[in-house]
């Protein structure tokens, strides 16, 4: 990994480079995605099935597009018992954490008879997307479905692509069942997002779509937003580690590589005040990379978006971390909680040498579907609130309104909305 002295110019250049990874920058794919979305909206099943046959190479139709109970039961027999047990344990951790996020409706009353409140209502139906095909990501399945279930969503649809044999990866089906999915639709890519957003003859539309996917999925979510709600538009994975001279260079290097192996666009950055640590981490990165199965991907990722940045003070590191607003932020310093309190922008914060990022990916409980590409400045991890709606409740008595009606009328007339003013005034004037 390249070692660079941290300064404002370097920080600006790195931020510019990282932003180029955003799905919003891949305009060359937008025309293709928009064509797919428009076709599905117009032609329904015919378009969805045609694109699936073309891209995923299996003969899908209305009779086999949903996974059956028999397929799910068969999947259990194809996944080893140890992994099933781990999935169940992870699911419980995730469920327990997200239960703490549940909000309650509330009503407040006043002596003059006025009532104000907020009603929390689960979204009626959601589509949760999980990548599939050759690889399987059961962790993303759990992270998508469980918060929706905890929120009380009645219909939870998992969309995930099938292989050329028309089968979804068995561990994906098992994870979906453990999480409490309602339906599994064997579709992937932009056509799956469009089918969920607009509905087809076979696939009822949903109210919101969540979950990560490739660039086509990301751009399809963007294209369908407005017709359907979305959580956010996921970009490539990223990790940032803040470490001082007390950090273990082997731990730091291993953690950086845990994200670099995702794909060539993944970002791995170390911020440190110690040149000695920087050099040791660089050596460990090379040593680990040579041993790892995804060596080629890691090397390309580090060449493109891997940095070891050496700053003069911890203040410099914290300022840089807040500007980068990383998806995953690890703090391995002498006083990690002091640093944590000053972090404003991060998707998830991992504190201490034994809180490596994969702990959050698989097991701890907090959601691993996180804001990327600097969007942690204004987005949050996927959470129970994403699957609920908040409705305001207002009930004023005559006494309560009489005390304020002239102020409201004046306010409305200041905006030249005389009908607004009249709607209040008419309640206190004779015909």
Q: For residue range 249-302, what is the model confidence (pLDDT) as tens digits? A: 999 999 999 999 988 889 999 999 999 999 999 999 999 999 999 999 999 999
- pLDDT of the residue at 133: 63
What domains, with CATH codes, occur in the chain?
Answer: 2-22+235-364 (3.40.50.1980), 25-230 (3.40.50.1980), 402-428 (no CATH)
Catalytic residue among 71, 284, 327, 357: 327
> What residue ranges in 326-406 does DSSP mark as E strands?
328-332, 348-351, 388-395
The confidence band for 15, taking pLDDT boundaries of 50, 70 and 90, is confident
- pLDDT of the residue at 141: 97
The answer for residues whose C-beta is within 8 angstroms of residue 428's C-beta and 6 or more apart is: 402, 405
**Half-sphere CA count of 423, side-chain side, radius 13 A:** 8
Q: For residue range 30-54, what is the model confidence (pLDDT) as tens digits? A: 899 999 999 999 999 999 999 999 9
Long-range CB contact pairs, 68-76, < 8 A, 24+: 71/167, 71/168, 71/173, 72/173, 72/174, 72/176, 72/177, 72/184, 74/170, 75/168, 75/170, 75/171, 75/172, 75/173, 75/174, 75/177, 76/170, 76/174, 76/177
Q: What value does the mean pLDDT take over residues 4-14?
A: 88
Q: For residue range 327-377, what is the model confidence (pLDDT) as tens digits? A: 999 999 999 999 999 999 999 999 999 999 999 999 999 999 999 989 999
**For this structure, is 327 an active site residue?**
yes
**For this structure, is 368 an active site residue?**
no
Please report, for residues 4, 56, 159, 174, 382, the alpha-carbon distance to residue 195 in angstroms, rounded to integers and kept in the order given. Answer: 47, 16, 10, 23, 22
- pLDDT of the residue at 235: 82
Q: What is the pTM of this model?
A: 0.92
Q: What are 413's two structure tokens?
A: 């007339």
Please report, for residues 9, 339, 403, 406, 423, the alpha-carbon distance to residue 114 in angstroms, rounded to integers and kept in the order given. Answer: 57, 46, 11, 17, 18
Residue 19 has pLDDT above 80, yes or no: no
DSSP string, 3-65: EEE--HHHHHHHHHHHHTTSGGG-GGGHHHHHHHHHHHHHHTHHHHHHHHHHHH-S---TTTS
Catalytic residue among 71, 328, 368, 386: 328
Q: For residue range 54-107, what is the model confidence (pLDDT) as tens digits? A: 999 999 999 999 999 999 999 999 999 999 999 999 999 999 999 999 999 999
């Amino acid at each position: 990994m390249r070692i660079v002295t941290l300064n404002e110019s370097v920080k600006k250049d790195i931020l510019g480079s990282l932003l180029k990874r955003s799905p919003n920058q891949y305009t060359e794919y937008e025309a293709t995605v928009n064509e797919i979305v428009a076709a599905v909206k117009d032609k329904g099943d015919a378009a969805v099935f045609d694109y699936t046959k073309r891209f995923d190479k299996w003969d899908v139709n209305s009779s086999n597009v949903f996974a059956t109970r028999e397929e799910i039961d068969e999947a259990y027999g194809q996944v080893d018992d140890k992994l099933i047990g781990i999935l169940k344990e992870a699911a419980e951790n995730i469920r327990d954490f997200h239960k703490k996020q549940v909000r309650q409706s509330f009503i407040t009353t006043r002596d003059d008879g006025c009532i104000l409140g907020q009603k929390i209502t689960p979204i009626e139906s959601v589509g949760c997307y999980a990548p599939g095909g050759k690889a399987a990501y059961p962790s993303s399945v759990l992270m998508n479905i469980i918060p929706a279930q905890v929120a009380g969503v009645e219909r939870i649809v998992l969309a995930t692509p099938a292989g050329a044999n028309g089968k979804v990866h068995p561990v994906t089906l098992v994870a979906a069942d453990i999480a409490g999915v309602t339906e599994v639709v064997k579709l992937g890519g932009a056509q799956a997002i469009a089918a969920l957003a607009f509905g087809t003859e076979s696939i009822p539309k949903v109210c919101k779509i969540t979950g990560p996917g490739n660039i086509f999925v990301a751009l399809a979510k963007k294209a369908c937003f407005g017709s359907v709600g979305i959580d956010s538009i996921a970009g490539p994975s990223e990790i940032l580690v803040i470490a001082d001279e007390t950090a273990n260079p082997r731990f730091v290097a291993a953690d950086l590589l845990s994200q670099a192996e995702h794909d060539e666009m993944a970002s791995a950055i170390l911020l440190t005040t110690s040149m000695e640590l920087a050099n040791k981490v660089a050596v460990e990165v090379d040593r680990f990379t040579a041993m790892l199965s995804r060596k080629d991907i890691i090397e390309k990722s580090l060449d493109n978006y891997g940095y070891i940045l050496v700053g003069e003070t911890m203040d410099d590191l914290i300022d840089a971390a807040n500007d980068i607003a990383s998806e995953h932020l690890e703090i391995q310093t002498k006083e990690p909680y002091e640093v944590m309190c000053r972090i404003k922008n991060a998707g998830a914060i991992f504190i201490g040498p034994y809180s490596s990022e994969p702990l959050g990916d698989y097991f701890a409980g907090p959601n691993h579907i996180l804001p990327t590409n600097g969007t942690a400045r204004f987005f949050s991890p996927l959470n129970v609130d994403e699957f609920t709606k908040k409705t305001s409740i207002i009930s004023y008595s005559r006494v309560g309104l009489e005390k304020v009606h002239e102020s409201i009328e004046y306010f409305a007339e200041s905006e030249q909305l005389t009908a607004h003013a009249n709607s209040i005034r008419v309640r206190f004037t004779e015909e």
